[in-house]
Amino acid sequence: MKKLLFLFAVVVCCTCLTSCATLFDDDTSGIVINSDPAGAVVKVDGYPMGKTPVALNLDSGTSHTVEISKEGYRSEFVTLKKSVKWGWQVLDVVTTGFVGNIVDLVSPNGYKLKPEKVFVSLTEENQPTL
C-alpha cells in the first residue's frame, strides 16, 4: 500500500511540474530601451510605445523590430529575438522527460527576448556615415 501511495505521489508531482515555464513563468519579457540623446520615439513593430528611456513588457513568443527615432537624427532599428529559456527546458527533462519541453516550446512562456537592454547613440542626419 505504501508503494502504491508513493507511486501516486510521484505521478501527481510529475504531472504538476509538467511544462514548468508555462505554469510558473510569465509570457512577457521586460525590455529597457534608452538612447543618446534621450527623448527619442520608440516604436515596436510599427506601434508607438513611448519615448526613451522606456521600460516595456513585450510578448516573448515572437521576435520584435524596434525603431528608435528623433527629429534631426537617423533612425536606428534593433531586432529583439526570442530565445529559449534553457533553465526551464532542463527542469522539464528532469521532471517529465520531454513532455514538458514540447508544451513549453509551443507556449510563449518558454521564451524570453534578447537583448533585454537596448541602448543606441543616434547620429545627426547631417553627419557622414562611416
Domain assignment of residue 129, yes or no:
no
Domain assignment of residue 127, yes or no:
no
For 15-73, how does the pLDDT look when each residue is reduced to its tens digit (9 = 90+)? 555 545 444 545 567 899 999 999 999 999 999 999 999 999 888 778 999 999 999 99
Domain assignment of residue 130, yes or no:
no
Residue 122 near residue 73, CB atoms below 8 Å = yes
Other Cβ atoms closer than 10 A to 93:
13
Domain assignment of residue 128, yes or no:
no
Cα Rg for the chain, rounded, in angstroms? 21
Domain total in the chain: 1
Q: In this predicted model, which residue has the larger pLDDT, 25 or 81? A: 81
Stretch among 3-17, 62-76, 106-120 having the lowest mean pLDDT? 3-17
Residue 21's pLDDT is 42
Q: Tell me: pLDDT of 95 over 70.
A: no
Q: Which residue has the cell 514538458?
A: 100
Q: Tell me: pLDDT of 12 over 60.
A: no
Domain that holds residue 79: 2-121
